[in-house]
Structure 1
């Protein structure tokens, strides 16, 4: 009898060690199961990120990872969708199955989300949108959205160009331009295209030769810019809807034997204003960068704390943003930048 009892105790102890080992293993990764966490007081957040297509996106991801830590009272389950909506939908369903407390999504595109959001709502899990927006018939499917004012960003870029051309005495000349658009259907693409078009409509001498997506990547931006340069002999301005596509455009322009920047043949306006964009402006290759602040983590954490306290939050929450160009002391400004 004693031997039987001893055997049972040993087996129980071994099982306990195995369970503890599995739990610790899950806690060490970015994508642990919420149900595995031994810290019941932690707020579990599932974040469905677009991907890692740009420097901006990398900074955005780091903002969430550095904010939603165990030291700050959170368990973060992170998923990189690699720019595919179907991957994000799978991630959201996985978050629901794991019973997370909150879901944060930076949607690849604006449409096609209603079904999975209804599933989250049915389980009582609040959804917060970051960076990009969703087009849904029922806005109660998500709590709020945090991000940049993309239409204003586009308009700011257009108004900067108006002032720049006036300073150069070119405001009455015919200006030919092309646009490297972001991923078609993404909120940043939709808003920046619309915003710049609003200013374009006010300038009869501006000719938009063509708009084509560069998918927010440097490689695709370079590829599209190469095709533009072969197709059009006289491009005066390039609108790149993010910095990485602007870097690709710069490479293509130089490879074609042309110049760009304040002293070059082609003026380039970019969006995001990551540190590499400051480097490009300082080097004289880029004229202007309209900021899109990627540091959403602290703002989302603030929203979650308000929801935890039973407070209401504003549906639309814009982050602070600026515009930078080569007339500024960029070397000093970049020292203060976190991205």
Structure 2
């Protein structure tokens, strides 16, 4: 995390209190419009094009943007793209038409929003990416990409899983399931890569037999059916890695329905506080680790980077190489009670 765990805890009450306000002002992309301005500031208008709303994580990230933009003196308007590139493309065009001074963007798709990237560049409007990167053919158009290092974070989860399986003396190969967001989304792809690399780096870990990936649309309800189908067909399933803790409640429902909840080891991603609490309350339960990706901090740092872009600070000075990666924070049952913040969802 950018400012450490203590800073994250201090912001917890603010995050929880403001989350509802973010939802109220976000407009969530209805009709493809740009929504209502959340703050009035003297430095001009800023847009935040969020990929979606509804799983809690997006709301916390939006709150980080909202809070920091208010401090910096900008008038912020936030919209949600409903996970649909065409909706987000329309929203970005509206922002351009409104003459925003800059844009914070969490892309719905790394390549499909290419026309928006071109339009922003043609309009000479600087933009900063948060959470989701662009396709390599577009990535250098952004002033800065602010995120956790997804490969490294997921790599830590792979290591934790390998250690946990070794401790069980589980014979290989072990059946394993990856629960992703959407087919082809860049977040899932990087987390897949990192987890498998981390697991493979641990000598003596049992071989994993990967079942076909399932897709839960980054939310709990979306994960129930696909995971239940796999768990029912594979009662000897041993390993589950979910690319976001937002899907874990659905995964739990599915595995309990299939009678597999107490038979698997699960690694998560995002350090959702409900998951952290479950590890603290059930240290011998199936969840063996999760890793924080700090949505609030991403929003704050992304806003700071956009402010620098607007002021003309060279990218080489503010965001060398075009990337700003937050450091991994791994949470296990051993330290879950220390990390837990009751007044924040992340």
**TM category, shorter:** 0.7 to 0.9
* Aligned mate of 1:279, from 277, 280, 288: 277
1:4-43 C-alpha deviation (Å, 9 max, x unpaired): xxxxxxxxxxxxxxxxxxxxxxxx9557989x99978323
TM-score (norm 2): 0.80
In the comparison of the two structures, how many residue pairs are matched?
A: 304
* Correspondence list, 1:26-41, <5 A: 41=42
Higher deviation after alignment, 293-302 or 303-312: 303-312
- Correspondence for 2:89: 89
The reply to whether residue 210 of structure 1 matches residue 212 of structure 2 is: yes
CA contact (8 A) 2:220 2:248 kept: yes
Three-state SS of the structure 2 residue aligned to 1:198 is: helix
- Correspondence for 2:151: 151
1:101-152 C-alpha deviation (Å, 9 max, x unpaired): 0011101121123322121111110011110011152544221111111111
The reply to whether residue 186 of structure 1 matches residue 185 of structure 2 is: yes
TM-score (norm 1): 0.82
Distance 2:40 2:155 in 1: 47
Three-state SS of the structure 2 residue aligned to 1:287 is: strand
Higher deviation after alignment, 107-116 or 137-146: 137-146
1:241-267 C-alpha deviation (Å, 9 max, x unpaired): 1112122111112222333xxxx3111
- Taking a change above 3 Å as real, the CA distance of residues 102 and 308 of structure 1, as seen in their structure-2 partners, is closer
* Aligned mate of 1:303, from 299, 305, 322: 305
The reply to whether residue 168 of structure 1 matches residue 172 of structure 2 is: no
- Taking a change above 3 Å as real, the CA distance of residues 159 and 140 of structure 1, as seen in their structure-2 partners, is closer
C-alpha displacement of 1:307: 2.4
CA contact (8 A) 1:46 1:104 kept: yes
* Correspondence list, 1:67-86, <5 A: 67-69=68-70, 72-86=72-86
Three-state SS of the structure 1 residue aligned to 2:78 is: strand
Three-state SS of the structure 2 residue aligned to 1:184 is: coil
Higher deviation after alignment, 88-97 or 319-328: 319-328
Distance 1:37 1:323 in 2: 33
CA contact (8 A) 2:89 2:115 kept: no
Structure 1 segments unaligned to the other structure (5+ residues): 1-27
- Correspondence for 2:338: 332
Higher deviation after alignment, 248-257 or 267-276: 248-257
C-alpha displacement of 1:201: 5.0
Higher Cα radius of gyration? 1
- Taking a change above 3 Å as real, the CA distance of residues 216 and 126 of structure 1, as seen in their structure-2 partners, is same
- Correspondence for 2:14: none
1:307-326 C-alpha deviation (Å, 9 max, x unpaired): 24422232001123311111
- Taking a change above 3 Å as real, the CA distance of residues 138 and 173 of structure 1, as seen in their structure-2 partners, is closer
- Taking a change above 3 Å as real, the CA distance of residues 305 and 105 of structure 1, as seen in their structure-2 partners, is closer
